Chain A
């Protein structure tokens, strides 16, 4: 079983603050890393899928970077808004197969 760790578990920020959190994973046998955004009472939705060391992805105020050699990915949110409040999940395939192993998530709460 792949060990995928996310930190922090939860985060409270004020509207307008920029924030970032981390997904850590074993650096060997890397295939891909997924980021999902999960709002309360909704289903998770894909933000990014990253496959190459040094990859940077951006979607509006949200961006992500990937370092496969050291085994981590950062998710950044610039100028947080209350609508950014959600749990952010990262996931990786543990091997060459078809599963995806999820981390425990980072729960972000943005206060207006």
Chain B
């Protein structure tokens, strides 16, 4: 059982380049999330989705776009990367329902923007 899988694991971009991070889960979860982790800042929510075809903004959505065309996949896009987007990105998912449902995390993507 793979759980939550993120690709790629590492990436280096030049300023202005674009890329897409892929999150895939095989647990039939409805809710999926993209977080970024920066030193001293904890995990901050970028965007999330409560089901196939839906997306919503989190705390720090600027500079990112997302899509949830299939229930099992949640894509995070950077259209024009900036050095401020250098971070570790985590995808997470959870079952539909109560706010007491725990999150399952992917292993992270380390992104550097030069």
State the A residues within 8 Å of B (CB): 1, 31-32, 34, 36, 42-46, 49, 51, 89, 91, 93, 96, 98-105
Contacts and interface: CB of A to CB of B under 8 A. Distances in A.
A42 B107 contact: yes
Interface of B: 4, 31, 33, 35, 40-45, 48, 50, 56, 58-59, 90, 98-108
Given A44-B90, A98-B50, A104 B105 contact: no
A93 B42 CA distance: 15
A100 B92 CA distance: 11
Contacts of A105: 42
Nearest to A103: B42
A103 to B, nearest CB: 6
A32 B99 contact: yes
A40 to B, nearest CB: 11
A49 B102 contact: yes
B40 A104 contact: yes
Contact of B99 (A93, A103, A104): A93
A98 B42 contact: no
Point out which of A32, A46, A98 has the most chain B C-beta atoms below 10 A from its C-beta. A98
Contacts of B56: 98
Q: 10 closest Cβ contacts across the A-B interface?
A: A46-B102, A43-B105, A102-B43, A104-B42, A93-B99, A32-B100, A102-B42, A31-B99, A32-B99, A49-B100
